[in-house]
Amino acid sequence: MKNSKMLYVLIGIIILLSVVIINFFNLINFGEDEELIYFVSKTSSENSTFWHSVERGVGVAADELGVELIFIGPEKESDLDHQVRLVEEGILLHPTAIILASSDFTYLSEVSRKVIKNDIIFITVDSDVDIADKHSFIATNNFKAAKQLGEEMVRLLDGEGLVGIISHLEGTTSSSSRIEGFREGLKASQQIECIDNIEYSNNDASIAYEKTLLLMKTHPDIKGFFGTNEATLIGIAEAIDDLSLKGKVYIVGFDISAIAASYIEKDVIQSIVVQRPFNMGYLSVMEAYRLSTTSGVPANIDVDIVIINKENLFNEENQKFLIPYLE
């Protein structure tokens, strides 16, 4: 009888151990099979309306596909070493895809090539990197959009005047493409002159503010400014407003926010190219999924833009750019 009881106890222990072991290996397999999308943003700053909108788009797509998501970035857009470290950390996780919004065209090239060498799907968003390896790139056509703003500046100035450019970060493809496009648009008039020296704000509104004051001091005949991103545009607008030059100096630029919209209302800013950052983030995850589940080849995806001014600021379809939950 005792032997029978011992046998039953042993069988029970074996069954229990079997269940524990099976569950343990199931957990391991689940962790291996679960798809992970690792997104390295230009910045994680709470002050960046644009990148928070990108993050929302990424999150919605990840939820729809049922994949795990890590969205991360340095506090400052100019912190290139931190961005490189974040990509390196992502490689160690060996995710399905690493999506990178690079803050420099060349500085992140080596680590980008390392992503591809580790057989990880690599996608760039907003700004590209200098690598020969094929990869998908999702962004606004910055040259084309900025050219439209250049042509708009010509119209605002009636074809003549001096214009200054303050850009967000030297070395990014978004910055260089926007500068080139804007200058191309200005060629619509031979009487428009553009200051050769490009100032940079390092994505800091306070620096853009000081740069604007300095340019107005050294070139008091400036009639227009082009700001290449949200922080830069706001810094320019604050300076021109404080100098009481509204209606005398015209401003155009990239990326909307509640503050930028208020300057449109006050006639300090005349026109803003609004990208579709939510769409940019959403499409990047969908592209990663496409490449991971099909034999498709990497693609360049152009994200549409809209130009907002005082006339169309309060149109219903444009309010979603100011009220995040409407996206």
Q: Are residues 152 and 255 in the same domain?
A: yes
- Please give the share of the chain, as a percent, with pLDDT higher than 90: 81
Last residue within a domain, chosen from 255, 274, 293: 274
At residue 22 the predicted structure's pLDDT band, cuts being 50, 70 and 90, is: very low
Q: Are residues 204 and 267 in the same domain?
A: yes
Q: Are residues 120 and 226 in the same domain?
A: no
**Is residue 177's pLDDT more than 50?**
yes
Over range 203-222, report the average pLDDT: 97
**Residue 229 CA: distances (Å) to CA of 64, 92, 124, 271, 313:** 30, 33, 18, 13, 18
Q: Does residue 14 belong to any structural domain of this protein?
A: no
Range of lowest pLDDT (7-21, 30-44, 94-108): 7-21
Q: Are residues 185 and 305 in the same domain?
A: no
Question: What does the alpha-carbon distance between residue 20 and residue 16 come to, in Å, rounded to a whole number?
Answer: 6
- Decide which of 12 and 182 is more confident: 182
Q: Are residues 118 and 177 in the same domain?
A: no
Range of lowest pLDDT (45-59, 159-173, 188-202): 45-59
Over range 259-264, report the average pLDDT: 95
Over range 270-298, report the average pLDDT: 95
The per-residue pLDDT for 323 is 55
Looking at the 3D structure of the chain, how many domains does it have? 2
Q: Does residue 136 belong to any structural domain of this protein?
A: yes
Q: Are residues 270 and 310 in the same domain?
A: no
Q: Are residues 156 and 261 in the same domain?
A: yes
At residue 9 the predicted structure's pLDDT band, cuts being 50, 70 and 90, is: very low
Q: Are residues 129 and 59 in the same domain?
A: yes
Q: Does residue 247 belong to any structural domain of this protein?
A: yes
The per-residue pLDDT for 48 is 81
Q: Which domain holds residue 202?
A: 142-274
At residue 23 the predicted structure's pLDDT band, cuts being 50, 70 and 90, is: very low
Question: What does the alpha-carbon distance between residue 253 and residue 230 come to, in Å, rounded to a whole number?
Answer: 8
CATH number reported for the structural domain that contains residue 70 in this entry = 3.40.50.2300
